[in-house]
Amino acid sequence: MDSNANQGEEALLRAIRSTPIIDNHAHPLLKRDAVGKHPLLSIVTEAHGAALDASTATLAHLRAVEQLSSVLGCDHTWEAVVAAIDAKRRGNYEAWIDTCLSGIQCVLVDDGLDVENDVESYGYFDKFTSSPAKRIVRIEQVAAVLIEEACMKHDTPEEAYRSFGLGFIYAISQAITDPQVVGFKSIICYRTGLTIPRTPSLDQAFLAFQTIFHQRRSPGAEAFSRINHRGLNEYLVQSLASIISASDHKKPIQFHTGLGDNDITLTSSSPSHLQDFIREYPTVPIVLLHSGYPFVRETGYLAAMYSNVYADIGEVFPFLSRDGQEGVVRQILELCPSSKILWSTDGHWFPETYFLAVMQMREVLETVLCSYVRKGDLGWRQAVRFVEDILFHNSNNIYKLHLQMNELELSESVVQNTLGLSRILELGDSARFLRVCWNDMTATTRMRAIPMRRVVSMLQNNEEFTFGVTKGSLGMIQTDLLVPGVSAVGEWRLHPDLNSLRVGPRKGHVTVMGDFKDQDGSFISLCPRTLLQRTLAMADREALSFALGFEIEVLILRRTGPAYEALSGVGHAWSVARAMDHDAVVTVIEDAIEQLDAAGVYVEMVHPESASGQYEIILPKEPPLKAIDTLLFARDVIYCCATAHGYKASLHPKPFANGCGTASHVHMSITSPGGSDKSLYEPFYAGILNHLRAITAFTCSNIVSYERIRDGCWAGGTWVTWGTQNRETPLRKIEGSHWELKSMDGLANPYLALSAIILAGLNGVQNVEEMTWKDCTQEPDSLSDKQKRDLGVRTKLPSSLREALDALLQDHELGNMLGQVLVERYVAVKKAEMELLESMDEVSRNQWIMERY
């Protein structure tokens, strides 16, 4: 995926996670002292009675257990979830409600449920949302109260009916002008079904009322509370629509459709039955609630075909399984414009219903919309607009709320984790392990491998996605020996950067890089990757940005017993065609390039280098952090391919005395505005040259590195200088700000090396350092002393790692920029490594290094 696509996907995921929600249909919360009266199991099902108990064996219930247990910090069982919620109710219950309603800016409340004395008022939501709640008036409840009053007040059904009718018109008219009321709701779906005729049957309405009147006035009758009478139910809806149609206030009517408890007749709950009614009242906004499930396509059709109809896709979150929810969103989008779709929690009684609805909705929108974008059916910007319309703008417009969208603040980790989860889920069963890697002070890549099942569970349930690693991890050499002053006591948290996700380096594995942070989330000064990120942040403050391109020089070796030997029999030489036909190229290099291509790493070129079995693979230019992540990943892919075919890939800088060295040249250019201006890039590269002796401690970081640094072998030479297209200078100018650093090999930790290089360059820019070196167009070692002086060639690069480390310790300016704590730790590790390697003979040392690099 290219950088523009990555940025677009990140913008979409940020929109899904941060767009505030107008919950266009919900119900009141139970008072604290009433929550125990109602079964918590009902948070994910419409079932009740014996059927409610069976809901524990549904996908929706099991998913809710996982998600609630993660946020509650309890065991992943229903019993543990119930106990944890009970504890919340006994403690700071409003803090828990606030957590559950997070992300909702405004709630539109249907307060017509049957447990009026047990619930909070609709205004109670104002404690937890940034915009005040509004009312949705349920007309059947209004009518039931008026019918009870009329039946008890009047002696004849005719008088009672007339009184009721006038009272209903008055009540609706008052609600239409009430600024706290933004819409109406009918549950006729539950009572007589959605087949509403175009015009009311007044005779049938009166006959139904007359029946109610006589029943209510009979001895011992209970108060009237439920309108379930054909003719009368339709009359209420048609009267409401007529009043709205004649009014200047076109407040919407919400209809319950589809999904409901067993009080509903499913066959009469399809919104398609409303088609005649919709046609009769074209100026009355109509909202079809709950996706019409299972009649989802009918809901989408009506919203698409009629300008006054809107589709709400609530309640299916969390009542359906994940696949069911994804199916609902896809079916609605088959035909329905995004400008006609609303979203609601249908939250009721328990705050957990809001939490689950919001969480699951976001997961599903991520899956569905990202899929459409990747297929090319939808652009990133269009997808972002879909999200903002569905979650906020459509309800804001239809209900005339006049709200400003208060975007939620999200951490980068939330966006990255969301993006990473989306990519991981796309891989399906092909991904078995996630490798979370870091590159230590010895440039050894270490890792944690987490089964993908565990990764998906952690990300889906918003668990802390970090892993504990001993503090000794950045104070040890390759044999795991801790250097003096470093202890294995305590641990840091390894934070996977899912933005670095790549598929590989072998089948079934996915790789990301990680950053070390302290327990409280603060930066670790010893973390090489964090150092580079902080360095780039400093550069950003100077309005400087960069692109890096790495060349991987690698030796393909054949194992002979305990040793390794170079490939032979092909007359290997620099860029010769026949060297591309060796079995090692076909089975290792070409296989690796194919795998890299599949992982989104598009190799630009490959060719034989001078040493037998030596090849150069040129990676694409990218921003520094991504370029280094890609470099380490590409090396791992090459290692795996070589091992799989019985070869060994090595980055040893000088494995054979008579062969050419193996480097890791880095190309750099300044990509920010003005980067091609000499007045900017020359001070930058002057800063690098001023500190190059100290920088070499990072770029040539092993004692064998200095066996490669020789004059006359295209390795950058031994003198501190630069030259245009001069491969015998450590800095080769190519064009404008595009320069190549040649004095770097594959044993360097590239995060540390590039941090030192960029910091030195920044220092040059800040100090407006003069390029005292002139363009060296000859091999520096061939120049006379006078010629060197004339060109400003004064000093040589260190001839050993010990000399380079001394230069680093003496360069206080660079040391302060890097951080003295890191410099001291790095030097300590390198000295311990030197002691180990110097104790070996040359043959053993070469074999030891080839085993590890």
Q: Is the pLDDT of residue 425 over 80?
A: no
Do 717 and 631 fall within a single domain? yes
For residue 260 the two structure tokens come to: 């409901």
pLDDT band at 285 (very low <50, low <70, confident <90, very high): very high
pLDDT higher at 711 or 213: 213
Q: Is the pLDDT of residue 545 over 80?
A: yes
Contact 698, 664 (CB under 8 A): no
Boundary (domain end) residue, out of 504, 524, 544 = 524
pLDDT digits (tens, 9 = 90+) for 762-801: 999 999 999 999 999 998 888 899 998 999 999 999 999 9
Contact 505, 427 (CB under 8 A): no
Q: Is the pLDDT of residue 418 over 70?
A: no
| CATH (domain of 96) | 3.20.20.140
278-291 CB burial, b ≥16 within 10 A, e <16: bebbeebbbbbbbb
Within a 13 Å sphere around the CA of 687, how many CA atoms are in the beta-carbon half?
22
Do 783 and 686 fall within a single domain? yes
Q: Left if phi > 0, otherwise alpha if psi is -120 to 50, otherwise beta: which for 473? A: alpha
Do 784 and 826 fall within a single domain? yes
Q: How many C-beta atoms surround the C-beta of residue 69 within 10 A? A: 19
Do 432 and 491 fall within a single domain? yes
pTM: 0.61
Q: Annotate 294-306 with three-state secondary structure.
A: CCHHHHHHHHHHC
Do 541 and 429 fall within a single domain? no
Of 271, 264, 370, 363, the residue nearest 318 (C-alpha): 363
What is the reported pLDDT for 1?
45
pLDDT digits (tens, 9 = 90+) for 189-247: 999 999 998 887 888 999 999 999 999 999 989 999 899 999 999 999 999 999 999 99
Contact 325, 315 (CB under 8 A): no
If you compute the radius of gyration of the chain from its CA atoms, what whole number of angstroms results? 35
Instruction: Give how many domains the chain has, as a whole number.
Output: 3
Do 398 and 425 fall within a single domain? no
pLDDT digits (tens, 9 = 90+) for 598-608: 888 999 998 88
Distance (Å, whole) CA 590 – CA 577: 15
pLDDT digits (tens, 9 = 90+) for 101-152: 989 999 999 987 766 788 899 999 999 999 999 999 999 999 999 999 999 9
pLDDT higher at 408 or 723: 723
Residue 166 covered by a domain: no
Residue 71 covered by a domain: yes
- Residue percentage of the chain with pLDDT more than 70: 97
What is the reported pLDDT for 417?
67
Do 519 and 539 fall within a single domain? no
What amino acid is encoded at 485 in this protein? G
- Angle 202-217/139-153 helices, nearest 10 degrees? 60
Q: Is 629 helix (H, G, I), strand (E, B) or coil?
A: helix
Residue 495 covered by a domain: yes
Boundary (domain end) residue, out of 492, 524, 556 = 524
Q: Is the pLDDT of residue 847 over 90?
A: no
Which are the contacts of 352, defined by CB distance < 8 A and separation ≥ 6?
40, 43, 64, 68, 85, 100
Q: Helix, strand, coil % (nearest 5) of the chain? A: 50, 15, 35
Do 438 and 355 fall within a single domain? no
What does 761-819 look like in DSSP terms, one character per residue?
A: HHHHHHTT----S----S-GGGS-HHHHHHHT---B--SSHHHHHHHHHH-HHHHHHH-
For the chain, how many helices (H) and strands (E)?
31, 22
What is the reported pLDDT for 749?
96
Beta-bridge mates of residue 287: 254, 310
What stretches of 419-538 adopt beta strand conformation (E)? 433-439, 445-451, 467-470, 491-503, 509-517
What is the reported pLDDT for 7?
62
Q: How many C-beta atoms surround the C-beta of residue 562 within 10 A? A: 6
Q: Is 606 helix (H, G, I), strand (E, B) or coil?
A: strand
Lowest mean pLDDT among 269-278, 412-421, 586-595, 826-835: 412-421
Q: Is 65 helix (H, G, I), strand (E, B) or coil?
A: helix
pLDDT band at 10 (very low <50, low <70, confident <90, very high): confident
For residue 720 the two structure tokens come to: 């501190």
Residue 217 covered by a domain: no
Residue 376 covered by a domain: yes
Do 709 and 794 fall within a single domain? yes
Q: Is 237 helix (H, G, I), strand (E, B) or coil?
A: helix
Q: Is the pLDDT of residue 569 over 70?
A: no
Residue 678 covered by a domain: yes
What is the reported pLDDT for 850?
86
Distance (Å, whole) CA 852 – CA 525: 26
Boundary (domain end) residue, out of 484, 502, 524 = 524
**Mean pLDDT taken over the chain:** 90
pLDDT digits (tens, 9 = 90+) for 496-521: 988 888 899 988 999 999 999 988 77
Residue 156 covered by a domain: no
Q: Is the pLDDT of residue 57 over 60?
A: yes
Do 585 and 701 fall within a single domain? yes
Residue 465 covered by a domain: yes
For residue 107 the two structure tokens come to: 């709630």
pLDDT digits (tens, 9 = 90+) for 11-50: 888 888 889 999 999 999 999 888 888 899 989 888 888 8
Contact 684, 670 (CB under 8 A): yes
Sheet arrangement for strand 467-470: 445-451, 433-439, 509-517, 491-503, 467-470
Q: Is the pLDDT of residue 160 over 60?
A: yes
Within a 13 Å sphere around the CA of 782, how many CA atoms are in the beta-carbon half?
7
CA angle 716, 722, 728 (to 5 degrees): 30
What does 10-57 look like in DSSP terms, one character per residue?
A: HHHHHHHHHS-EEEEEE-PBBPGGGGGGS-GGGGG-S--THHHHHGGG
| CATH (domain of 505) | 3.10.20.70
CA angle 257, 263, 264 (to 5 degrees): 30
Do 349 and 476 fall within a single domain? no
Within a 13 Å sphere around the CA of 641, how many CA atoms are in the beta-carbon half?
24
Do 544 and 472 fall within a single domain? no
Distance (Å, whole) CA 72 – CA 76: 10
Lowest mean pLDDT among 457-466, 630-639, 743-752: 457-466
| CATH (domain of 825) | 3.30.590.10
Distance (Å, whole) CA 746 – CA 743: 11
For 761, the domain range is 534-852
